[in-house]
Structure 1
Amino acid sequence: MRLIFILASVLLITSEAIAQPVTIVAYNAENLFDTEDDPTNPRDDTYLPLAVKDANRPAHDARCEQYNGTTGFYAEECKTLNWDNQTYTTKLKHYADVLSAMPVLPDVVVIPETENKKVLDDLVAQNLTAANYTVVQLDTSDKPDSRGIDVGMLTKLPLAGTPRAHVIDFGNAAKECGKTRDILEVPLQLPDGATLNVFGVHFPSGASPFECRARALKTLSTLAAALPAGSLAVAAGDFNVNCNESPTEGFSRLLQRGNWYVSPLATHGCNAPGSTKYVDRVMDNWNTWSFLDMILVSPELSATRPSEQNWFADLGSFGTVVVHPEQIAVDEDNKGFIEPRRFDPKTGHGVSDHWPVMMRLLQRRS
């Protein structure tokens, strides 16, 4: 019986009876900065060549301490990291290698933690020219608290309108939440001419209260509700909702009120699988996982509701995509525990502290 299910799965993926799926990936790039100093972005001082840093001391060190503290890992990294052109191009190549190793090159890639449009232009020009990706990156999150990074997007699908960025207003929780990355809204044209509205997100980190992520999700839901009735919408990216928060009634109610559907896998708790490791501070246990990265879909894309639209989301296809050795790190004690492999500029190995997640959109009628 088990063999039958496996064969059925293969047939579902390869059958010509299903028109070409649209694949959507969310893949946090983990600090994808270029090598140039942007005077308007004080948080890019870490990601400069060491020669540039040395030529501007002690002013460079003073800026590092202003935004990273006077001591500790981040202050030291800001002062000593050599983010030169070789490091930068290696980082780009490894990220592209993961996308290229996927079963199909994604139609849409939502990419949190990009400094500007240039880094995505370089990613495509140096490694992905054959994919014919259109780059969307509006470079609007310029406040220091946002770390000078934005959500970017690569798309094979044509634009169906003008991309927009939306600021998240935290209201009376602004002091606790600070600033965060803007929500990127990009309307795209599906193969049959229908419009798919893709929201790219990177919500406040786990260092802030859950209320901050809740308010960000409410903003996202408000934007989706403002679309014309019957619209197709997908929200993808780094929601930063950890495995202790995602199974809660509070989060499920936020999804219900926002009319979002999500794979149950993303809210199943702290067991594997997941897109990144989650440290349980109480149990001091690294063998726990979170789906910080999710893909949500609107009601018209749900397979459990009737719809006049021709597309639905295969929620069962949602999951992590681990396809390249540079994605995998083994624990320092070498006991065999694995986690996503951060990019290490000193060794030139690794990609990101997140694994990508993927989901397919299928046509109801071929």
Structure 2
Amino acid sequence: MVTIAFYNLENLFDTIDDPTTLDDDFTPKGEKRWTNNRYKKKVFKLTKTISEIGTHNTKEPPVLIGIAEVENENVVKDLVTNSNLERINYDYVHYDSPDERGIDTGLIYNKDYFTVLHSEPIHVHIINTNGDVDNTRDILYVHGKLNGEEVHVFVNHWPSKREGKITTDYKRIEAAKVLINFMAKIEEKNPNPNYIVMGDFNDSPKSDSIQTLMDTNKFYNPSEHLLTFEKGSASYKRKWSLFDQIIISHSFLNYEKGTHSFLEANIFDEHFLTEFDGKFKGTPFRTYVGRKYVGGYSDHFPVFIQLKYNE
């Protein structure tokens, strides 16, 4: 059994000012007073979390972890070399995105179980209604072998709803179309590929953008069943959402020898990741609330699926 996870790390910036991006807030003299001590504490907490996702069943940390909101390769390297993870044979895939804040996606993988065959960033070209280019995050594509079986992994962080849901819907729908078009090229060579599509989609399982993917009839979304009035991966104004999802191709619903089969999906919302008291009790214990540093983990819970290898 293997665990595959996704975790939005909530602004994992280093403390160095990058003059080419809007990262000034996350520097020692910036608005957030982002110091090296605070950075190291956050890395330690995030890696502790990663090391425990799914271990209730497997007794082992995840084999694949998609991550979002990482500033650069250095912070990803700091994750896999942290004392909480250094015993695991982790490596990573990361590319810089054109996002104006400088945040990217990445994939951490255990080399004992997963081999990278190819990787590349997929650019999501979006034109705003005013005609300007929206420099959003690339989709990370990694083609590899999981326990010898070929899989195609996509790590996403789709455009946000900051400017309003209705006015930004088209951006996330466009991201879905970019993904579908890229998959069409894969299917020219392989008519039945194994897809793992994970990320912070900034949309719910029933949204138009996710349904654009689902309408291809290629996918099963186990995340659909995880969102309730009392449970989700993130909370805004005390209302749960499930923007963080892992979607898989129907090929994972088989039981053939030498393949992986879907077992379960869940949200990793252990007590230590939550606000312990107050009006936000039970919601993600985040690093900042507005400008105030509170020293938590992330404003998102990780999500995960577990697959069984059929011998």
TM-score (norm 2): 0.85
Q: Which has the higher helix share?
A: 1
Q: Which residue identity does 2:28 align to in structure 1?
A: P
Q: Deviation per CA, 1:29-84, whole angstroms, max 9, x where unpaired?
A: 0100111122222x11111112xxxxxxxxxxxxxxxxxxxxxxxxxxxx432211
1:132 corresponds to which residue? 89
Q: Identical aligned pairs, as a percentage?
A: 30
Please say if residues 177 and 212 of structure 2, whose CA atoms lie closer than 8 Å, have aligned partners that are also in contact. no
User: Residue 33 of structure 1 aligns with which residue?
Assistant: 13
**Partner SS, residue 31 of structure 1:** strand
- Which moves more between the two structures, 21-30 or 269-278? 269-278
Does residue 259 (structure 1) correspond to residue 218 (structure 2)? The answer is: yes
- Equivalent-residue separation in structure 2 for 1:273 and 1:346 (angstroms): 25
| Paired residue type of 1:275 | S
> Any stretches of 5+ residues in structure 2 without a counterpart?
none
2:173–2:212: 8 Å Cα contact kept in structure 1?
Answer: no
Cα RMSD (Å): 2.6
Query: What is the CA deviation profile of residues 182-211 of structure 1, one whole-angstrom value per residue up to 9, with x for unaligned ones?
Result: 0000122111x1211110000011225222
Determine the C-alpha separation between the residues in 1 that align with 2:31 and 2:24. Answer: 11
Letter in 2 for 1:47: F
Task: For 2:142 and 2:303, locate their aligned partners in 1 and report how far apart those are by CA, in whole Å.
Answer: 19
Report the residue type matching 1:323 in the other structure. E
* Alignment partner of 2:296 out of 347, 350, 355: 350
- Which structure 2 residues correspond to residues 216-295 of structure 1 after superposition, within 5 A? 216-227=175-186, 228-242=190-204, 246-247=205-206, 251-257=210-216, 259-263=218-222, 265-266=223-224, 271-279=229-237, 286=238, 288-295=239-246
Q: In the comparison of the two structures, how many residue pairs are matched?
A: 294
- Distance of 1:165 and 1:330 partners within structure 2: 39
In 1, Cα distance between equivalents of 2:8 and 2:175: 18
Which runs of no fewer than 5 residues in structure 1 stay unpaired?
1-20, 51-78, 280-285
Q: Does the CA contact (< 8 Å) of 2:172 and 2:209 recur in 1? A: no
Aligned residue for 1:188, secondary structure, equals: strand
Which structure's residues are more often strand, by fraction?
2
Establish whether residue 196 from structure 1 lines up as the match of residue 154 from structure 2: no
Map 1:50-199 → 2, pairs under 5 A? 50=29, 79-102=30-53, 103=55, 104-127=60-83, 128-139=85-96, 141-144=97-100, 147-156=101-110, 157-170=113-126, 175=131, 178-191=134-147, 193-199=148-154
Query: How far does residue 150 in structure 1 lie from its aligned partner after superposition?
Result: 0.6
Native 8 Å contact 1:275 1:289 kept in 2: yes
Matched, 1:338 2:282: yes
CA distance in 2, matches of 1:107, 1:135: 11
* Structure 2 SS opposite 1:23: strand
